[in-house]
Structure 1
Amino acid sequence: MNPNIHTLFDEDAISRRVNALAREIAEAKPENLLVVAVLKGSFIFAADLVRAMHRAELQPEMEFMHLSSYGAGTEGSDNIRILRDVESDVNGRDIILVDDILESGRTLAFAKERLTSRGARSVRIAALLDKPERRKAAISADYVGFACPDKFVVGYGMDMGHAWRQLPFIGYVAPDDTGGTDGKTGG
């Protein structure tokens, strides 16, 4: 079944916001910058963000973390597994931790603590979407693309059952289009 996907943020709005985020990050004058993308959902956002950082005259290095807190369910848990960790030395570096969506905050809080404990000079969070009403951990993003309504979102890297990541916009799936959703992206 193909759900009816409704546009929430179109390509132009995303492009403008990503470029603005890169300029905000550049204004903070990070040193020895390492961008760490949290896989899988952030891969398109992270790629566009580092290209925009280049245009803003930053020269970041890039790494990836793949974390899982879902297992077989759709609700996050406190049990976070590291599927892929950062390989670079983070000691003394400014890090931008990039994720597609900040909801419960558990995964990003875990990643931030892990990088901080390994000696990062600073760890700031860039989240494309922010859903503060779903927050379970005491964490917030330093750089936010958009405030996101409590809807199940897909596109621009975020998925529903491994589909719809390729969409060039961010859309939402109405509850009756999927047989019921809980507002969580599969990102």
Structure 2
Amino acid sequence: MQRIRGRDLRVLYDAPTIAKRNVELAEEIATAGYVDLLVVSILKGSFIFAADLIRALHTVGLAPEVEFLSLSSYRSGTESSGEVTVLRDIETDVAGRDVLLIDDILESGRTLAFARSLMLSRKAHRVGIAVLLEKPGKLSQPLKADHVGFSCPDYFVVGYGMDVAHAFRELPFVGVVEDE
């Protein structure tokens, strides 16, 4: 247990475990047959995972181009309406290209289903999905990630890019706030 910003956090996946898994994911992606690869990081939560995974992709011999897509779900209170909007779009034409979407977590699947559909509507040849964490049983969309770092218990997780009220993104591990 670590005390950070006055909160008790339990480490779920430590930095060495995440780093090892990123290399394994990169090797898996390298053998998946992507051609003319464009990596699209879904902001904000994936930025640290995407950076580490992209460097690992380089290490295993891939040289993808990189873009960033910022999406948002409209919310009323604490409930998501399920509507996803583009806050910041990519600049690259994806027609005929293989695209790999990178996100921090696959939970409901709304955001990733939207991003995948968007890339396919723009005539991407192939759209793969890589996530650091997947929460089995939480999907509200028929969606499957192609490359999964870890199967995550149903906890609200923070760190390694993921936040609670914009806090804890900087942590080098994925943790669970235990003092709630």
Does TM, scored on the shorter chain, surpass 0.5? yes
1:145 aligns with 2:130: no
1:65 aligns with 2:69: yes
CA–CA separation in structure 2 for the residues paired with 1:76 and 1:91: 31
Corresponding residue for residue 95 of structure 2: 91
Corresponding residue for residue 160 of structure 1: 164
Residue 150 of structure 1 aligns to a residue whose secondary structure is coil
Structure 1 pair 50–73 and aligned structure 2 pair: CA distance change class (3 A): farther
CA–CA separation in structure 2 for the residues paired with 1:11 and 1:70: 33
Corresponding residue for residue 23 of structure 1: 27
**How well do the aligned residues superpose, as a CA RMSD in angstroms?**
1.2
Report matched runs for 1:1-187 at 5 Å.
Answer: 2-71=6-75, 73-174=77-178, 177-178=179-180
Residue 82 of structure 2 aligns to a residue whose secondary structure is coil
Structure 1 pair 16–85 and aligned structure 2 pair: CA distance change class (3 A): same
Residue 79 of structure 1 aligns to a residue whose secondary structure is strand
CA–CA separation in structure 1 for the residues paired with 2:136 and 2:77: 21
Q: How many corresponding residue pairs?
A: 176
Q: Which moved more, 1:131-140 or 1:151-160?
A: 131-140
Q: Gaps (5+ residues) in structure 2?
A: none
Structure 1 pair 48–72 and aligned structure 2 pair: CA distance change class (3 A): farther
CA–CA separation in structure 2 for the residues paired with 1:131 and 1:42: 16
Cα offsets for 1:48-101 (capped at 9, x unmatched)? 011000001000000011001154644433111110111100011111100000
- TM-score (structure 1 length as normaliser): 0.91
Q: Which moved more, 1:1-10 or 1:50-59?
A: 1-10
Read off the aligned partner of 1:106 and give its amino acid letter. R
Residue 94 of structure 2 aligns to a residue whose secondary structure is coil
Residue 126 of structure 1 aligns to a residue whose secondary structure is strand
Cα offsets for 1:117-172 (capped at 9, x unmatched)? 10101000001000122110000100000000000100000001100000000001
CA–CA separation in structure 2 for the residues paired with 1:75 and 1:7: 28
Q: Gaps (5+ residues) in structure 1?
A: 179-187
Q: Which has the higher strand share?
A: 2
- TM-score (structure 2 length as normaliser): 0.94
CA–CA separation in structure 1 for the residues paired with 2:132 and 2:14: 13
Structure 1 pair 158–74 and aligned structure 2 pair: CA distance change class (3 A): farther
Residue 83 of structure 2 aligns to a residue whose secondary structure is coil
Residue 78 of structure 1 aligns to a residue whose secondary structure is strand
Residue 132 of structure 1 aligns to a residue whose secondary structure is coil
Residue 31 of structure 1 aligns to a residue whose secondary structure is coil
